[in-house]
Structure 1
Amino acid sequence: MSDDASSPTPRTPRAEVRERLLVAGADVFAESGVHGARLDDVAARAGFSKGAVYSNFSSKQDLVAQVMQRSTNRILAALQEVVREDVAATSIADVVRAAFGRYDQGRQFALVSELRGYALRHPEFMPEFVRQRRELQDGVLDLVRLWFGAHPEVEPGMPLEDFATLLVGANVGIVFDGPALPGVNPGDVIASLVDAVVRPRR
């Protein structure tokens, strides 16, 4: 049987439409800034009309929040893949090096910087920005607690809450100063930090 050229094109599943819009939103926001980005540009980048944006998100700010949530989820998922209870104490620095150094974080940092700027200029968005950054911090803290809980033979040289905060803060700072630190890999620096903090329990 020959294909019927007049048959309708299959409808793109809603979940795929939404995911493509989120990916496009992240790219456009990182490149043009949230303020300068137009929903037409996001829709076109995803291969849809602007109506697709409004059928999946209630507003531009809703799209911004969901783009950020997708980014937060992906970062935590990547960390959870490599930081596990069964990672030996002798290997944890190498695992952390892989977790923080496996990706080019420049584009991700550009997006987060734009979201931070948007939150500063739109106070109504700041609680959402804070919630998601807290979610990231808490997720890293959960991984730190999980790993140290499985390894009573070692201890940190500081409270676990401070250690988790330092891991995130050091990574952000190194990526921020990346242009002034040619050849510096955030993973290598974070691994050195872990080596300095994790020590045999006395």
Structure 2
Amino acid sequence: MARMTRAESQAQTRETLVATAADLFLKDGYAATSLEKVADEAGFSKGAVYSNFRNKDELCLAVVDAIRADQAQKLARALENRTTLEEMLAGFERWAEATIGDVGWTTFEVEFSVRSRQDESIRVAVAERNLAIREAVTLLLDEHARAFGITLPMPAADCATALLSLGVGLGVQRAIDPQVGVAVLPSVIRLLAGG
């Protein structure tokens, strides 16, 4: 077996640290998870953490990116090979039921968003990531509106903002009360689609 290069070893260490931090942030929350705890759980020294991340916030941003990328892949799979709007909404609703309101993820995102207000560079980094999501949803809405011959009742960017805001709020409600259903989200998409 070939020996890993320094770059491969560092990439693997970084990946392990992000995965370990994600587990801890989702289980214990942002404030309760120290860099020492992440290093210990991952089997590394605290120095290994600092050689990959400047601070806890930078590690946290990497975790946010990893979680969101994973959820984007899950959503893409849920929508894969769906040819009608109703099939897409059914796939979306299954993803939403399994995802929106996950207590660990919701609490972590809210806690880190609140934390970002204390540091302008972190606030900007979180805002940039949120903008990227809104832009991606805007593109999807534009594409699907054209494909299905739908005239949206407002600009696609506004629809994206409304849907994401509803999703975040719904996530918070479901984290508190798992009995809150997700059907309202596809129902709003139907309304935006004119039906």
Q: TM-score range by the shorter chain?
A: 0.7 to 0.9
Q: Distance in 2 between matches of 1:135 and 1:25?
A: 23
Distance in 2 (CA, whole Å) between partners of 1:24 and 1:68 is: 13
2:14 equivalent to 1:18:
yes
Runs of 5+ unmatched residues, structure 2:
1-5
Is residue 2:130 matched to residue 1:133?
yes
Match of 2:181 among 165, 181, 185: 185
Alpha-carbon offset, residue 31 of structure 1: 4.4
Correspondence for 1:156 among 131, 139, 152: 152
Give the one of 165, 169, 191 matched to 2:165. Answer: 169
TM-score of the superposed pair, with normalisation by structure 1:
0.79
- Give the stretch that moved more between structures: 33-42 or 114-123: 33-42
Structure 2 counterparts to residues 84-163 of structure 1, below 5 A: 87-103=83-99, 105-152=102-149, 154-163=150-159
Distance 1:83 1:139, change over 3 A: farther
Please give the secondary structure, in 1, of the residue aligned with 2:110: helix
Question: Higher helix share goes to which structure?
Answer: 2
Query: Which amino acid is 1:111 matched to?
Result: F
* Residues 102 and 175, structure 2, Cα contact 8 Å, conserved in 1: no
Equivalent residue, structure 2, for 1:37: 33
In the alignment of these two chains, the number of paired residues is 188
Q: Quick check: which has more Rg, 1 or 2?
A: 1
Q: 2:77 pairs with 69, 78, 81, which one?
A: 81
| Equivalent position to 2:68, from 68, 72, 93 | 72
Structure 1 residues 90 and 33: alpha-carbon distance in aligned structure 2, compared to 1, 3 A threshold: closer
Q: 1:84 to 1:160 in 2, by over 3 A?
A: farther
Specify the code of the residue in structure 2 equivalent to 1:135: A
Shift of 1:41: 0.4
- Aligned-residue Cα RMSD (Å) equals 2.6
Give the structure-2-normalised TM-score.
Answer: 0.81
- Asked if the contact 1:85/1:150 (under 8 Å) is kept, the reply is no
